[in-house]
Amino acid sequence: MRKLLIIGIGSGNPEHMTVQAINALNRADVLFIPTKGEKKTELAEVRREICARYVTRADSRTVEFAVPVRRTEGVSYDGSVDDWHARIAEIYEHLIGSELGDDGIGAFLVWGDPMLYDSTIRIVERVKARGKVVFDYDVLPGITSLQALCASHRIPLNLVGKPVEITTGRRLSESFPERSQTSVVMLDGEQAFQRIEDPDAEIYWGAYLGTPDEIVISGRLADVKDEILATRARERQRMGWIMDIYLLRKGADFEE
């Protein structure tokens, strides 16, 4: 039976690759690499570098495929994501059917870890459910951008014995600072931290983590907010794209 390996490749530094992930790369006959259009060629470049560094078997092949752009006009958010996933599922189905032999092994290289704000597992399940190509799959964990953020700032994720929320920029205001003491924000195109009315909250921000362009800024929200906004705008302009993540924290360890 065909097999897929969904491999977490870490968040920008090729050295995030685990030994398990490297071994999985070398089990694959075909490595599927998504390209996302010109602006983010650096991301495809990290994947290519990982393959060049760690793939030791001579007979595996690399197949690049274009990820379709999500249509947003005239549809709800859920409808737009569903349509996008359906189109990607068709591409996966085609790749599995046409590039893998009956007992072939294919690998998808997933940014960070496949369980965190990533739909590869969901889409692969969708392809499996359609039943047109028969296969099984395994998931190999990777270093997430959240781990890279905490490591670069040298902070623990949670306060002693306290919970943590992981959310998006769109939803941050629903929880922080009233219901959540520690919120990690990903996929934030609107810099939602600028609307948080808690000047004493601490923010730990990071962009392009793990890459040579990594930038980190931290401090009291009111003190560093403008610096983060200016840095983000400048770097986005310079690079043509940005990937950033931050942790907001209200409160302290060992509160009375």
Q: Is 184 in the site for ligand SAM (CB under 6 A)?
A: no
Q: Considering only residues 117, 152, 171, 173, which one is a binding residue for ligand SAM as defined by CB under 6 A?
A: 117
How far apart CA 237 and CA 42 sit, in angstroms, is 15
Whether residue 135 contacts residue 105, with contact meaning beta carbons closer than 8 Å, is answered with no
Q: How far is the CB of 185 from ligand SAM (least distance, A)?
A: 7
- Residue 93 or 113: the one with the smaller Cβ distance to ligand SAM is 113
Exposure on the CB side of residue 75, measured as CA atoms within 13 A: 12
Selected range binding ligand SAM among 79-87, 91-99, 154-162, 243-251, rule: CB under 6 A: 243-251
In the chain, beta strands by DSSP E: 2-8, 30-35, 61-66, 105-110, 135-140, 165-168, 182-186, 202-207, 215-220, 244-249
Q: Considering only residues 4, 100, 245, 248, which one is a binding residue for ligand SAM as defined by CB under 6 A?
A: 245
Write out the binding residues for ligand SAM, residues 72-111 only, by CB under 6 A.
111
Selected range binding ligand SAM among 44-52, 73-81, 208-216, 228-236, rule: CB under 6 A: 208-216
Q: Which residues contact 165 (CB under 8 A, 6 or more apart)?
A: 175, 176, 179, 180, 182, 183, 184
In 49-140, beta strands by DSSP E: 61-66, 105-110, 135-140
Q: How far is the CB of 244 from ligand SAM (least distance, A)?
A: 5
Q: Considering only residues 9, 30, 123, 207, which one is a binding residue for ligand SAM as defined by CB under 6 A?
A: 207
Whether residue 177 contacts residue 196, with contact meaning beta carbons closer than 8 Å, is answered with yes
For the record, the structure tokens of 191 come out as 């810099």
Q: How far is the CB of 231 from ligand SAM (least distance, A)?
A: 13
- Residue 89 or 116: the one with the smaller Cβ distance to ligand SAM is 116
Q: Is 112 in the site for ligand SAM (CB under 6 A)?
A: yes
Whether residue 126 contacts residue 158, with contact meaning beta carbons closer than 8 Å, is answered with no
With CB atoms as reference, the residue minimizing the distance to ligand SAM is 112
Q: Is 151 in the site for ligand SAM (CB under 6 A)?
A: no
Q: Which residues of the shown chain bind ligand SAM in the complex (CB under 6 A)? A: 11-12, 111-113, 116-118, 144-145, 186-187, 206-210, 243-245
